[in-house]
Amino acid sequence: MKNTRMTMLYGVCMICLVAAIMPAASALGNGTSWNDNPEHITAMQANVAYTGAIGQAQMDGAISYIGTISNGAGTSQLSSIESQFTGTVSSVQSMTAADQIKAAETQMSADRKEFMTTTKGSLKEYNGTGKALHESVNASVMAQSGTIQTLKNTAWTDRETARMDEFEHNDENRNNVLAKLTAKGVDVSQAQAIENQIQQEGTALRAAFDSRDGSAVKAANQQLTTLCSQFRDTVKGYRTAHPVGATITTTAAVPATV
């Protein structure tokens, strides 16, 4: 049952991973927030479609096996849970706010856990084996591998587009801040050095996305969060020492990862 649990939890882990590599909610210069930013919503929808396809394939495999060992008697509740799960996945495609999608992802995770608990009970009731269940789940996922891979590619592309556009927006804001301070006669060399590091980390972030290395994306985002905090503190120090008209806003920093 251990291998089966690991397989069925894969989609839940993917949701957690994506949460770690996507930017947190922040205000954009055009007045749009990440909660309803079209590119961010598209990226979230793509991820749900991807993880949803994996989850459905896994559930199909489990239902097939339980149906076999129970002569069809043990699949009703499992099919009902799957129907709720797939319905949530489908509904996300028409959602227009990030908080709605996050709520849907929470429901998807709950459905997965309920499905696993029910499957475990049926496996025991009908004298099945974890090994055979695991094989049935994997076979179902493999049968849908083409569709899953296509959805995975789309999810990565959409996530990179949303994240790098936000990075570039924030980078422009930071450079505007430095330009305004420089025009006031402030020596911004320390902040500029931090900005140079941020740009280098931005290059690393893009490379991590291009190589589809989730761990590297997360690490780059964490480093960017630290550097941007240093940038804000440094600029705050400039303004304390040299009061100027312009004020730095939270949009001048790369969003913290979630």
> 114 with 12, same domain?
yes
What is the per-residue pLDDT for 20?
A: 47
Name the pTM for this structure. 0.80
What is the per-residue pLDDT for 253?
A: 39
Domain boundary among 90, 125, 150: 150
> 82 with 196, same domain?
no
98 in any annotated domain: yes
Lookup: tokens for 51? 């993880």
What is the per-residue pLDDT for 32?
A: 54
What is the per-residue pLDDT for 233?
A: 96
Taking the chain (258 residues) in consecutive chunks of 10 residues, what is each chunk's mean pLDDT? 48 47 45 77 96 98 98 96 98 96 97 97 96 97 97 96 93 95 94 97 97 95 96 93 55 35
Please give the tally of structural domains in the chain.
2
What is the per-residue pLDDT for 254?
A: 33
**What DSSP line would sit under 58-75, residue for residue?**
HHHHHHHHHHHHHTTTT-
> 25 with 136, same domain?
yes
Q: List the one residue out of 59, 199, 242 whose CA is nearest residue 138.
A: 59
> 7 with 129, same domain?
yes
Domain boundary among 132, 150, 168: 150
> 19 with 135, same domain?
yes
Rounded distance between C-alpha atoms, residue 119 and residue 4, angstroms: 10
> 177 with 117, same domain?
no
What is the per-residue pLDDT for 123?
A: 96
Range of the structural domain that residue 122 is part of: 2-150
> 35 with 64, same domain?
yes
Lookup: tokens for 148? 């899953």
What is the per-residue pLDDT for 71?
A: 96
Domain boundary among 150, 169, 188: 150
What is the per-residue pLDDT for 258?
A: 28
Rounded distance between C-alpha atoms, residue 170 and residue 168, angstroms: 5
Q: Which stretches of the chain are DSSP H helices?
A: 2-8, 10-21, 38-70, 76-92, 98-125, 130-143, 145-183, 189-210, 214-241
**What DSSP line would sit under 185-199, residue for residue?**
T---HHHHHHHHHHH
> 223 with 137, same domain?
no
Q: List the one residue out of 117, 136, 140, 131 whose CA is nearest residue 3.
A: 131
What is the per-residue pLDDT for 29?
A: 40
What is the per-residue pLDDT for 35?
A: 82
Q: For residue 257, list its beta bridge partners.
A: 23
169 in any annotated domain: yes
Q: For residue 33, list its beta bridge partners.
A: 27
> 107 with 171, same domain?
no
User: Apex CA 174: angle with CA 40 and CA 209, to 5°?
Assistant: 40
> 11 with 119, same domain?
yes
Q: Extract long-range pairs of 32-40: CB within 8 Å, 24+ residues apart.
A: 34/98, 34/166, 34/255, 35/97, 35/98, 35/99, 36/96, 36/97, 36/98, 37/98, 37/162, 39/158, 39/161, 39/162, 39/165, 40/98, 40/162, 40/166
What is the per-residue pLDDT for 22?
A: 53
257 in any annotated domain: no
Rounded distance between C-alpha atoms, residue 228 and residue 241, angstroms: 20
